[in-house]
Amino acid sequence: MALTLFEIWMYVQVPLVWWLFRRFAGRNVAGEMIAGAMIGLFNEFATEPLWDYHLRITFYKDTPVGIILSWAVMFTLVVYFSETLYKFFRKRPSVRPGDKSIFLFDLLAAVLISFPIETLGVKAGVWTYRYDRLNWDWGTVPLVKMPWEALFGYCLLMLVGPTFVRAWERTFDEVVPGGGK
């Protein structure tokens, strides 16, 4: 029953998050979601043999459609949170083009948003790691008992993912009804 609720949430979260951002932040995040889903689709296709999913609606082997939607939401949250932290700590009204310090905030967002989502998914049984193929041996993060490699992987992904999302979000907003910021 819990996995069914997780799967339902994966479909509900996309319009809900879009609406919440539109309503309360005055921001259309459709472009971020499309770009984030693209990264998620690539990641899931490229790494499919490394984990086993336990949901019903799949599109490639055992990879659930809901996981791609979750990548869309996760990247939307990471980009927004990273930019919010940047503006707060750098005391700027927006991210200055070319300012590489945004990477530090992207890494922080990976630790504060992406890794907890990963931890929840594993602990809830939505997927299991294929340790026989991963060969992870760095040990586990204290308290949450998650592999250090998972945390490190999210940090590496956040060095490129949010940049891709920022570069493409406006392009995708233009093709989505009601687009624009």
Name the pLDDT band for 69 (thresholds 50, 70, 90).
Answer: very high
Per-residue pLDDT tens over the stretch 104-119: 999 999 999 999 999 9
The stretch 125-132 carries a mean pLDDT of 97
Report pLDDT for 51: 97
Question: Positive or negative, the Cα torsion across 80, 114, 144, 139?
Answer: negative
Dist. CA 121–CA 52, nearest whole Å: 12
Task: State the Cα–Cα distance between residues 129 and 98, nearest whole angstrom.
Answer: 37
Mean pLDDT of 40-62: 96
Task: Name the average pLDDT for the chain.
Answer: 94
Q: Model-level pTM?
A: 0.93
Q: What's the pLDDT score for residue 170?
A: 82
* Parallel, antiparallel or unpaired: strands 51-53 and 127-129: antiparallel
pLDDT score of 179: 55
The pLDDT value given to residue 171: 85
What was the pLDDT predicted at 70? 98
List residues bridging with 120 in a β-sheet. Answer: none
At 51, is the secondary structure helix, strand, or coil?
strand
